[in-house]
């Protein structure tokens, strides 16, 4: 629980007054969540009976305390707030400054390329039991937005840390990914630092790979280093199983990693089931075909497979159906009437008993006549 905050206002009033300067000059350029935080604490100034705190603001606004603190730092940066911190760096006092003290930045302040996720969308802000956010749209940050965001102390620290991790200066693609994870996905700076360290340990330092891992974490509800450590442990085991079954001696690529995440997280399969699918893929295709293995696992998931024993049941059922189909085909071929040939294509005459008697008489008379011809005169 965060400590109670002392708020002071240089222009005391009994009303929550919002100057037009804020609306015209500051609000259009600020993140929507930042505006909510500013208005919330401004409201508290008019009600001395209410005690402000980061945790109370987070509860009311359905944000995380980290998001509230980030918003306060933003307004301090543009000169509308003055924050006082204790020896441990915790915010203890918030002073609202006159708008004449506000800084007119050389570049426009960043428009919310991606607002901090709402509580029902963000893994870090979701209430217990709510599903994590599954869809993220990466904005293309403008030069002005990059300039404003990289002026934040937390982002400066993060950039320095990542350059040490990568062993080089950040490229434009690195910066876009960093800001996307920080601003749109909503990862705290320390989690982003851990993400880069984890990927670098796998010798994967390109921005696309790191971004894919970050999104996979967010979709799994990872929002702390502790959760990330647990997630990477599961992934490492799954990667090892897949590599062994497919005969690979490298880390999975971006697409391959998404497949493995789908199998272990979306389908919820343990490594024994994933390995079985990979083994069957190799037997059928003689190559490490992730798409083929995905079809096998998707079929098992649709059939309700939960453990490896369920696969044996499906195999038995499949074999039984195949045997039944084979018997049915054999019975059909045995009883089938062969198609008529060209000689049997004409209509056939039907003979009666009298017909047969008449033909017999004709044959007897013919035989008798032949006998008379052969008799000696």
Residue 31: exposure state from Cβ atoms within 10 A (0-12, 13-18, ≥19): buried
Q: Which CATH class is domain 6-101?
A: mainly alpha
Give the per-residue pLDDT at 141.
85
Give the per-residue pLDDT at 278.
94
Name the CA radius of gyration of the chain, rounded. Answer: 39
For residues 219 and 133, is the Cβ–Cβ distance under 8 A?
A: yes
The pLDDT-based confidence of 113 (bands split at 50, 70, 90) is: very low
Question: For residue 314, what are the CA distances in angstroms to 257, 285, 302, 310?
Answer: 27, 21, 12, 6
Give the model confidence (pLDDT) of 292-323 as tens digits. 999 999 999 999 999 999 999 999 988 888 88
**67 or 227: which leads in pLDDT:** 227
Give the model confidence (pLDDT) of 58-96 as tens digits. 888 877 777 888 888 888 888 888 888 888 778 888 888
**pTM for this predicted structure:** 0.39
SS3 31: coil
For residues 240 and 141, is the Cβ–Cβ distance under 8 A?
A: no
109 has a pLDDT exceeding 50: no
Give the model confidence (pLDDT) of 27-52 as tens digits. 887 777 888 888 888 888 766 666 67
Question: For residue 7, what are the CA distances in angstroms to 69, 86, 96, 255?
Answer: 15, 15, 8, 51
* CA neighbor of 44 nearest in space, from 99, 119, 95, 91: 95
- Spans of all domains in the chain: 6-101, 143-316
Q: What is the mean pLDDT of the chain?
A: 78
Residue 64: exposure state from Cβ atoms within 10 A (0-12, 13-18, ≥19): buried
Give the per-residue pLDDT at 101.
52
């Amino acid at each position: 629980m965060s400590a109670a905050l002392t708020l002071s206002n240089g222009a005391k009033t009994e009303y929550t007054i919002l100057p037009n300067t804020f609306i015209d000059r500051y609000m259009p350029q600020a993140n929507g969540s930042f505006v909510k935080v500013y208005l919330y604490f401004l409201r508290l100034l008019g009600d001395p009976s209410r005690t402000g705190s980061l945790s109370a603001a987070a509860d009311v606004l359905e944000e995380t305390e980290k998001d509230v603190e980030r918003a306060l730092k933003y307004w301090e940066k543009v000169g509308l707030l003055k924050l006082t911190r204790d020896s441990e760096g915790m915010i203890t006092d918030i002073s609202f400054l006159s708008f004449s003290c506000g800084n007119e930045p050389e570049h426009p302040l960043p428009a919310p390329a991606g607002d901090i996720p709402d509580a029902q969308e963000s893994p870090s802000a979701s209430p217990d039991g709510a599903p994590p956010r599954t869809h993220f749209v990466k904005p293309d940050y403008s030069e002005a937005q990059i300039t404003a965001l990289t002026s934040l102390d937390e982002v400066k620290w993060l950039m320095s840390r990542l350059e040490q991790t990568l062993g080089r200066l950040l490229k434009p693609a690195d910066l876009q990914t960093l800001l996307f994870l920080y601003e749109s996905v909503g990862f705290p700076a320390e989690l982003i630092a851990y993400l880069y360290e984890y990927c670098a340990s796998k010798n994967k330092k390109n921005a696309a790979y790191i971004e894919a891992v970050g999104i996979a974490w967010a979709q799994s509800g990872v929002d702390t280093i502790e959760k990330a450590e647990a997630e990477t442990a599961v992934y490492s085991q799954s990667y090892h199983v897949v590599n062994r079954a497919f005969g690979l001696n490298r880390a999975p690529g971006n697409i391959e990693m998404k497949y493995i995440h789908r199998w272990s997280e979306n389908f919820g399969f343990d490594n024994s089931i994933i390995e079985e699918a990979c083994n069957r893929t190799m037997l059928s295709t003689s190559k490490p075909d992730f798409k083929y293995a995905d079809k096998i696992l998707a079929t098992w998931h649709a059939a309700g497979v939960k453990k490896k024993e369920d696969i044996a049941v499906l195999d038995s059922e499949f074999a039984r159906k195949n045997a039944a189909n084979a018997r049915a085909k054999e019975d059909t071929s045995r009883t089938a009437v062969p198609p008529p040939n060209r000689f049997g294509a004409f209509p056939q005459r039907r003979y009666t008993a009298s017909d047969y008697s008449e033909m017999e008489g004709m044959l007897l008379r013919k035989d008798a006549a032949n006998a008379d011809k052969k008799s000696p005169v």
